[in-house]
Amino acid sequence: MGYTVRQLRGAVADAVRAPSLHNTQPWRFRLRDGGIEVTVDPRRALPATDPTGWGARVACGAALFNLRLALAVAGTPATVRLRPYPTDPDVVARLEPDVPRRPTPTEQSLHGAIARRFSNRAPFWPDPVPAEARWRLGEAARAEQCWLELVIGASAVNALAEVARSAHRVLERDPAYVAERVDWMRSEPAPDGVPAAAGGPQSEPQDLLPQRGFGGRHRAPGRDFEPEPLVAVLGTPGNTGTDQVVAGQALQRVLLTATDAGLGASLLSQPIEVPAAREALRLSLGRFGTPQMVMRIGYGQPGRATPRRPVDEVLDLPVVPA
Ligand SMILES: Cc1cc2nc3c(=O)[nH]c(=O)nc-3n(C[C@H](O)[C@H](O)[C@H](O)COP(=O)(O)O)c2cc1C
């Protein structure tokens, strides 16, 4: 027995809550021969910001992780094949029904965090992230075959921040990149793009980490953004398209684990998007493999989930003859 359209719809409602670059939601979902397939949507590409498709594959991997959780919590867990068709690499995964079983407590709590997770770009409180939560974040990455390096100590954080700021400057000098960012900023309600209210405060020159500008409000000049965020880098052993899908799944597992622990997080991908910065980051960490995402994590103010397109807009269903 394969998955049904009803199961597909239910699981996709959770899948689309995943993060994506500029909230482009670059994914599509379909039923084929009883399996659910997740594909990259080339119409939602960002040619200047994401010329290689790395960001789209990470976003689809994050959506895939939500899909896996939703199916598991519904009692119909999936076996997953990543990039199952060598001739069609846009198909990032195919899920087929596994033996039905009860969901684990971890699956239940991570699934419960899907609707509460959002990118929290506002300053975090000074309270440190406890050791137990740090350990859980690392475990979340390891459970999905990735590593999570917590950047500890002022000099290590400063070195990473310097790489991130220089990558940010390189990107902001490219008019096509800036045009894409502005294109996806939303000042009116919309089903995609980044709402100004979610953009976080505007950057100030003295800020440690470069926040992408999404039209957020100004803050009092001269004030520090936050004293000491926890900065983490997620990485994979290799950097093939499949590794990037794996990274997306691990990213979502880390973010949901953080949400479940009452923590906020936001993503900083400028140092991943500029090849020289990514290499500098890799060397500074001394880790085997490739950095796939930088994030800041901490206790934040409450916020709201951003909009998504309706499920029916991202489904490819076979046309049923009238
Ligand atoms: C691959 C990738 C890269 C991202 N890079 C950044 C970034 O550099 N800065 C940022 O503020 N948000 C970044 N984001 C977060 C998205 O902007 C965010 O997920 C999207 O706007 C949807 O909002 P939500 O996370 O609140 O659901 C990134 C997300 C993904 C998947």
pLDDT of residue 129: 97
Q: Which of 31, 4, 257 is nearest to 134 (CA)?
A: 257
Q: Is 147 in the pocket of ligand 1 (CB under 6 A)?
A: no
> What pLDDT score does 285 carry?
93
Would you say residue 216 has pLDDT above 90? no
DSSP state of 235: E
- List, in order, residues 6 or more apart from 203 with CB less than 8 Å away: 210, 211, 213
How sure is the predictor about 219, in pLDDT bands with cuts at 50, 70 and 90? confident
- According to the model, what pLDDT value does residue 227 have? 78
Contact 230, 296 (CB under 8 A): yes
Instruction: Report the distance separating Cα 46 and Cα 249, nearest Å.
Output: 21
Q: Which residue, 53, 64, 125, 67, is CA-closest to 93?
A: 64
- Cα distance between residue 118 and residue 214, in whole Å: 15
* pLDDT tens for each residue of 112-164: 999 999 999 999 999 999 999 999 999 999 999 999 999 999 999 999 999 99
- Rounded to the nearest integer, the mean pLDDT of the chain is 95
Mutate to test the pocket of ligand 1, among 14, 16, 21, 49 (most ligand atoms within 8 A of CB): 21
Q: What is the 3 state secondary structure string of 67-112?
A: HHHHHHHCCCCEEEEECCCCCCCCEEEEEEECCCCCCCHHHHHHHH
268 lines ligand 1 (CB under 6 A): yes
Choose among 265, 290, 267, 266: nearest CA to 277: 290
Among protein residues, the one with the nearest Cα to ligand 1's atom 10 is: 267
User: Closest ligand 1 atom, CA of 198?
Assistant: 26
Q: Is the pLDDT of residue 223 over 80?
A: no
Closest CA to 270 of 169, 175, 173, 178: 169
Q: How confident is the model at residue 321 (pLDDT cuts 50, 70, 90)?
A: low
Atom of ligand 1 nearest to the CA of 200: 11
What is the average per-residue pLDDT within 233-254? 98
- pLDDT for the residue numbered 79: 98
Q: What mean pLDDT comes out for the span 44-51?
A: 98
For ligand 1, atom 18: residue with the closest CA: 19
- Distance (angstroms) between ligand 1 centre and the Cα of 322 equals 41
How much is the pLDDT for 224? 73
Choose the weakest-confidence range: 45-59, 183-197, 222-236: 222-236
Of the chain, the percentage scoring pLDDT greater than 90 comes to 89
Closest by CA position to 225, among listed 119, 300, 134: 300
Cα 37 to ligand 1 centre (Å): 23
Whether ligand 1 lies within 6 angstroms of the CB of 59 is answered as: yes
Q: How far is CA 320 from the centre of its chain?
A: 35
Where b means 16+ CB within 10 Å and e means fewer, 281-301 reads bbebbeeeebbbbbbbbbbbe
Local structure of 35: helix, strand or coil: strand
- Cβ count near 188 (within 10 Å): 7
Report percent pLDDT > 70 for the chain.
Answer: 98
Measure 234 CA to ligand 1 centroid, in angstroms.
14
* Shortest-distance Cα residue to atom 19 of ligand 1: 19
pTM: 0.98
In this structure, the strands spanning 27-32 and 315-316 are: parallel
Residue with CA nearest ligand 1 atom 9:
268
Mean pLDDT of 11-25: 98
Q: Does an H or E element contain 165, and which?
A: helix 154-172
- Residue 61 — very low, low, confident or very high, per pLDDT cuts 50/70/90? very high
8 Å CB contact between 213 and 181: yes
8 Å CB contact between 248 and 144: no
Round to whole Å and give the CA distance between 271 and 17. 24
The region that residue 153 occupies, defined by phi over 0 for left and psi between -120 and 50 for alpha, beta otherwise, is left
pLDDT of residue 222: 65
